[in-house]
């Protein structure tokens, strides 16, 4: 617990001191049940409510401490066996707490209930109980109210014990007008007509859960429904004119929930509510079907939210039009639904005790989304996308300003900052590494035991490791006994180790290891160090293959130095097979020579994932001066004959940032940019030229086609521009009625946005479009335009929020910043509108971090570093000066400067020597 700043503490109230001096609530009083009635007024954009909280008093006290923020509270009373008595209320706005003071001691061990009335305005942000709106095709503006309580915003909607460990049951009632419907976590059980032509919907009592999972929506949504094989009714809600775009989400949710029911061997948890319900359904036709609702909210900051029984989504994360949406949209929607439904077990049923272990929720959900979608939609080949999550995590985790997966947090800003790539992507990659090392079967049994043992409870890291260790040891004993009886052996034989000891090295320290490989004759020498600094030592579950065999071998590296032997005649050893582990491998000078020779001679000797990981590791090692840029470029040169989508994508992801860095920093060096462009073109032209302008092929082939054609057209490749311009003119001449192949629309729109007339047409089409997927592609195209005034205008429109919704501003701002004509404009916009942005998106949120890092991430001069430091150092703490993303920005710019100083001349020299090998194109 963190002591309060005394000046802020005593100045935050007038009458008497606040009786509690800590950010975290005391454990003396805990909630058991909430009876909540709330009445939003969508005309005045305000709400009123009443909450009755049944309490368990664990220690006698004269003060009940709970959370409230920006709420007016009144008529606060304590119900005891003797009747009702008034409580005095004082507020600590610094810690967002209320103290309900009793003149008499409240003894422990009795039944108590607090009654409170409250009122507030609907929030203008995307958190708490907030207003959302949309326009119909006729232009009518309609308003709704929705909730987003994670992580610390339930307290802005009703007084509550707003920490994840304070689980309770909730009985919710919502007052609404006749023109609206209300939905919440549980099914509606009755509606009561009230005076004033309003109605009160009563919902069944929830299971025991945390406050951040409570949800309710008042709207004019329509819905479609289906029932799973396990008897769970699933409904998808959306605005009326978009309800025809919900079919894929509904089918996906049914498939995925059935998969999870079977995989976890624990029924969808909400049916556990109330034995009387189960008995009723056995005896009579079931009138009470437990729901798993999904709602598409017109204004939504994040991608989606796992509220128990009522998951909420950004429209683009849920709505799919079969004739307008792309295969990328379909994969994206399936993954997000899989993520939120996985949370119904990981996060909702079993919840982290405190936000320091958020990764137990988010890392597991991210990990399971790939497991589930791969099982239900194998044609999407999402396993090929998983390794990209490890690379994006490493990008953040390689900075000195990174943080451990499990790290101490106290205040709301620090909690918000935990929702980052480390908690999500690194958490998922660590779980995948552990699954691979333990074997999938052992891992699955271990996590199922974890879920069953801690259902409706809160957990910490150690509880997960204990479950997995017990299962691992049990399986190892059985395997060893079997091998002994059969007189056989296995590389996993006698595998007894404490998973907590292993995994603490991964979750309690930041960064990741670099494993150095030295192959001398048959002797393989391994040393480990931190990617940036050398203090920590990890216990690393290594995997490797050799030129001698396709078998994947496993080895746990426990110390800083390790040694073992390989068979005679081994030419190469490839570690981190298919990027199953979260570490970088350095093969040494001779080892890299062997890998380069192998890739140029017979690259298919390694899997596509292994080739991609070699590309990734080589360029990461260049960044820390462990490997020369020439070596990484020599290795990447093999890509001219590469067709594997994973490897091609990784090549782009390593070379394009270098190009953009050169493009911004060395604007006078036209020759270098042309040579680098020529090299990139030499590698990928064959793939670009082979692309058809249609929607044929597998999901991954179609996603690659869209990216390649956009890349070529934005960089003015003549054949691509000519084709795209022709299609754009045909499409515009039909007022957008002509059907374009979906995979080519990004390229076509981007070419169209190069002129003022084309840009204006696209914007008007955006205004009329009812498909969010179409709008997303148009936004990307508009932000790629070279027209400076148009870029400025689209930023202003995004902030205004009438046509381009403000929820999309972070995406628009980052897209403009990536445009060579817009990066200074984006920085000026960020500074000029900082106050508005932090009010709308909240200090510490992932949206703010995305804008800060996205706008500044490619700056590479001391002048721009000075500008960035000057602005952020001028902020106060309340304005976000201490956010982690600011320090990460400083780290990234310093790294860009150092990279340029180290490698600029090397790149010039290498490209000059290799020019005769490149294919020249008139670009």
Is there a binding annotation on residue 343?
yes
Determine phi and psi for 181, rounding to 5 degrees: -115, 160
User: What letter would DSSP give residue 803?
Assistant: S
The CA–CA distances, whole Å, from 334 to 423, 684, 711, 740 equal 21, 30, 26, 24
- CA torsion, points 339, 341, 343, 349, in degrees to nearest 10? -170
* β partners of residue 79: 84, 113
Return d(Cα 514, Cα 492) in angstroms, integer: 24
Structural contact between residues 213 and 169, judged by C-beta atoms closer than 8 angstroms = no
Give alpha helix (H) positions in 637-669.
645-665
* β partners of residue 310: 293
Residue 148's nearest CA partner among 199, 240, 196, 214 is 214
Exactly one of 163, 306, 340, 369 is catalytic; which is it? 340
Return d(Cα 164, Cα 149) in angstroms, integer: 11
* β partners of residue 176: 199
Residue 830's nearest CA partner among 846, 849, 804 is 849
> Beta strand 233-238 with 291-297: parallel, antiparallel or unpaired?
parallel
Lay out the sheet containing 573-575: strands in order across: 549-557, 540-546, 573-575
Structural contact between residues 761 and 752, judged by C-beta atoms closer than 8 angstroms = yes
Burial 653-677 (b: 16+ CB within 10 A, else e): bbbebbbbbbbbbbeeeeebeebbb
Angle at 223 between CA 219 and CA 227, to 5 degrees: 135
Structural contact between residues 47 and 38, judged by C-beta atoms closer than 8 angstroms = yes
Angle at 773 between CA 752 and CA 343, to 5 degrees: 150
Return d(Cα 744, Cα 708) in angstroms, integer: 10
Residue 822's nearest CA partner among 785, 860, 867 is 785
Return d(Cα 143, Cα 129) in angstroms, integer: 13
- CA torsion, points 418, 423, 425, 427, in degrees to nearest 10? 180
Structural contact between residues 261 and 230, judged by C-beta atoms closer than 8 angstroms = yes
Return d(Cα 122, Cα 854) in angstroms, integer: 30
Residue 648's nearest CA partner among 708, 719, 712 is 708
- CA torsion, points 443, 445, 447, 451, in degrees to nearest 10? 180
Burial 813-833 (b: 16+ CB within 10 A, else e): bbbbbbbeebbebbbebbeeb
Is there a binding annotation on residue 339?
yes
Return d(Cα 846, Cα 416) in angstroms, integer: 7
Rama region for 624: left / alpha / beta (φ>0; ψ in -120 to 50; rest): alpha
Query: What is the secondary structure of 156-219 as a DSSP string?
Result: GTS-B--STT--BEEEEEEEEETT-EEEESS-EEEEEEETTTEEEEEEPPPPSB-GGG--EEEE
Return d(Cα 719, Cα 15) in angstroms, integer: 76
- Would you call 340 a catalytic residue per the annotation? yes
Annotated binding site: 339, 343, 362
Annotated binding site for Zn(2+): 339, 343, 362
| Active site residue ranges | 340
């Amino acid at each position: 617990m963190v002591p309060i700043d005394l000046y802020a503490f005593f100045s935050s109230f007038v009458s008497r001191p606040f009786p509690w001096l800590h950010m975290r609530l005391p454990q003396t009083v805990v909630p058991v049940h909430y009876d909540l009635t709330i009445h939003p007024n969508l005309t005045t954009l305000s709400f009123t409510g009443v909450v009755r909280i049944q309490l368990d008093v664990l220690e006698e006290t004269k003060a009940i401490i709970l959370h409230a923020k920006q709420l007016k509270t009144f008529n606060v009373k304590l119900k005891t066996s003797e009747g009702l008595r008034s409580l005095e209320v004082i507020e600590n706005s610094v810690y967002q707490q209320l103290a309900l003071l009793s003149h008499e001691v409240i003894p422990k061990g009795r039944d108590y209930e607090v009654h409170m009335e409250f009122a507030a305005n609907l929030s203008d942000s995307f958190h708490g109980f907030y207003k959302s709106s949309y326009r119909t095709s006729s232009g009518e503006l309609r308003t709704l109210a929705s909730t987003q309580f994670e992580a610390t915003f339930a307290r802005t909607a009703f007084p509550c014990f707003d920490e994840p460990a304070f689980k309770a049951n909730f009985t919710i009632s919502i007052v609404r007008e006749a023109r609206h419907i209300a939905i919440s976590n549980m099914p509606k059980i009755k509606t009561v007509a009230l005076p004033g032509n309003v109605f009160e919907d009563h919902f069944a009592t929830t299971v025991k859960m945390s406050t951040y999972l409570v949800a309710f929506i008042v709207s004019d949504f329509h819905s479609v429904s289906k029932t799973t094989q396990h008897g769970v009714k699933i409904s998808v809600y959306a605005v009326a004119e978009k309800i025809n775009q919900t079919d894929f989400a509904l089918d996906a949710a049914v498939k995925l929930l059935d998969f999870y029911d079977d995989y976890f061997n624990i029924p969808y948890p909400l049916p556990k509510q109330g034995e009387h319900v189960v008995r009723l359904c056995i005896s009579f036709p079931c009138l009470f079907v437990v729901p798993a609702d999904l709602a598409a909210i017109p204004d939504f900051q994040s991608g989606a939210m796992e509220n128990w029984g009522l998951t909420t989504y950004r429209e683009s994360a849920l709505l799919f039009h079969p004739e307008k949406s792309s295969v990328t949209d379909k994969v994206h929607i399936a993954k997000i639904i899989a993520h939120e439904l996985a949370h119904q077990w990981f996060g909702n049923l079993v919840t982290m005790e405190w936000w320091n272990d958020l990764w137990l929720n988010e890392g597991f959900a991210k990990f399971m989304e790939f497991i589930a979608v791969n099982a239900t939609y194998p044609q999407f080949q999402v396993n090929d996308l998983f390794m990209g999550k490890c690379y994006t995590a490493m990008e953040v985790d390689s900075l000195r300003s990174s943080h451990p997966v499990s790290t101490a947090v106290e205040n709301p800003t620090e909690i918000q900052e935990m929702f980052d790539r480390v908690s999500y992507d690194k958490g998922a990659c660590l779980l995948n590494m552990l699954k691979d090392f333990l074997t999938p079967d052992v891992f699955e049994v271990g996590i199922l035991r974890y879920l069953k043992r801690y259902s409706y409870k809160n957990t910490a890291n150690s509880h997960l490791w204990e479950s997995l260790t017990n299962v691992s040891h049990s399986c190892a004993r059985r395997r060893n006994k079997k091998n002994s009886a059969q007189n056989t052996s296995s590389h996993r034989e006698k595998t007894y180790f404490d998973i907590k000891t292993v995994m603490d090295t991964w979750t309690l320290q930041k960064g990741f290891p670099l494993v150095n490989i030295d192959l001398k004759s048959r002797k393989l020498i391994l040393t480990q160090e931190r990617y940036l600094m050398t203090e920590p030592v990890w216990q690393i579950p290594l995997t490797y293959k050799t030129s001698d065999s396709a078998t994947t071998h496993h080895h746990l590296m426990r110390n800083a130095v390790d040694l073992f032997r390989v068979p005679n005649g081994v030419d190469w050893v490839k570690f981190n097979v298919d990027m199953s582990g979260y570490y970088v491998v350095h093969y040494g000078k001779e080892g890299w020579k062997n890998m380069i020779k192998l890739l140029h001679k017979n690259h298919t000797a390694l899997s596509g994932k292994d080739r991609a990981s070699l590309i990734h590791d080589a360029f990461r090692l260049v960044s820390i001066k462990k490997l020369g840029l020439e070596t990484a470029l020599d290795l990447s040169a093999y890509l001219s004959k590469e067709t594997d989508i994973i490897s091609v994508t990784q090549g782009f992801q390593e070379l394009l940032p270098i190009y953009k860095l050169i493009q911004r920093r060395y604007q006078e060096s036209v020759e270098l940019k042309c040579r680098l462009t020529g090299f990139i073109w030499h590698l990928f032209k064959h793939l670009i030229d082979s692309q058809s302008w249609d929607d044929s092929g597998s999901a991954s082939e179609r996603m690659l086609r869209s990216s390649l054609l956009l890349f070529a057209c934005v960089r003015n490749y003549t054949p691509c521009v000519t084709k795209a311009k022709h299609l754009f003119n045909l499409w515009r001449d039909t007022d957008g009625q002509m059907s374009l192949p979906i995979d080519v629309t990004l390229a076509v729109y981007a070419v169209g946005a190069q002129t003022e007339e084309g840009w204006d047409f696209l914007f008007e089409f955006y205004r009329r479009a009812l498909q969010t997927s179409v709008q997303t592609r148009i936004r990307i195209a508009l932000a790629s335009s070279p027209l400076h005034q148009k870029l400025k205008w689209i930023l202003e429109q995004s902030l205004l929020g009438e046509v381009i919704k403000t929820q999309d501003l972070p995406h628009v701002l980052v897209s403009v910043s990536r445009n060579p004509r817009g990066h200074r404009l984006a920085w000026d916009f960020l500074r000029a509108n900082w106050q508005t942005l932090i009010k709308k998106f909240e200090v510490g949120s992932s949206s703010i971090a995305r804008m800060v890092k996205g706008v500044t991430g490619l700056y590479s001069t001391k002048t721009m570093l000075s500008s960035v430091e000057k602005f952020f150092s001028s902020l106060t703490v309340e304005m976000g000066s201490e956010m982690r993303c600011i320090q990460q920005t400083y780290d990234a710019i310093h790294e860009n400067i150092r990279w340029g100083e180290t490698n600029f001349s090397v790149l010039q020299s290498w490209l000059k020597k290799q020019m005769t090998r490149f294919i020249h194109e008139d670009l």
